[in-house]
Amino acid sequence: MSEFFFLLVAQAIFYPFGSAAGDTINAAVDDGSSSVIPLSNPFLFFGRTYQQIYVNNNGYLTFNQPSSQFVPYSFPASRSQDVIAGLWTDLDNRLRGVVSYQQYTSGNVLTRATQDINTHFSNLYLNSSWVFVATWNKVAYFNLNNTETSFQVVLISGRNFSFILMNYGDIAVTGHPVQAGYDTINSTHYFVIPGSINGSFVSNLRNSSNVNVPGQWAFRVDGGPGNSKSKNNVVGLRVRLSSFMDLTQNGSTEIVLQQIKQELVKYGLPNSIELKLRKLQKAKP
Ligand SMILES: *[C@@H]1O[C@H](CO)[C@@H](O)[C@H](O)[C@H]1NC(C)=O
Ligand SMILES: *[C@@H]1O[C@H](CO)[C@@H](O)[C@H](O)[C@H]1NC(C)=O
Ligand SMILES: *[C@@H]1O[C@H](CO)[C@@H](O)[C@H](O)[C@H]1NC(C)=O
Ligand SMILES: *[C@@H]1O[C@H](CO)[C@@H](O)[C@H](O)[C@H]1NC(C)=O
Ligand SMILES: *[C@@H]1O[C@H](CO)[C@@H](O)[C@H](O)[C@H]1NC(C)=O
Ligand SMILES: [Ca+2]
pLDDT in tens, 20-44: 999 999 999 999 999 999 999 999 9
pLDDT digits (tens, 9 = 90+) for 58-84: 999 999 999 999 999 999 999 999 999
pLDDT in tens, 119-177: 988 777 789 999 999 999 999 999 999 999 999 999 999 988 999 999 999 999 999 99
Q: Give domain limits for the chain.
A: 2-228
Report every protein residue that has its C-beta within 5 angstroms of ion ligand 6.
30-31, 58, 70, 90, 92, 142
**Cis preceding-peptide flag for 225 (omega within 30 of 0):** no
Q: Which ligand is nearest to the CA of 189?
A: 3
Sheet holding 60-62, edge to edge: 37-45, 48-56, 60-62, 83-88, 179-183, 190-192
Contacts of 186 (CB under 8 A, 6+ apart): 78, 79, 80
Stated pTM of the model: 0.78
- For ligand 4, is residue 198 a contact (CB within 6 Å)? yes
Give the C-alpha separation, 203 to 24, whole Å. 27
Output the CA angle 37-22-133, nearest 5 degrees.
50
**pLDDT tens by residue, 84-133:** 999 999 999 999 999 999 999 999 999 999 999 999 887 777 899 999 99
Q: Is 160 in the pocket of ligand 2 (CB under 6 A)?
A: yes
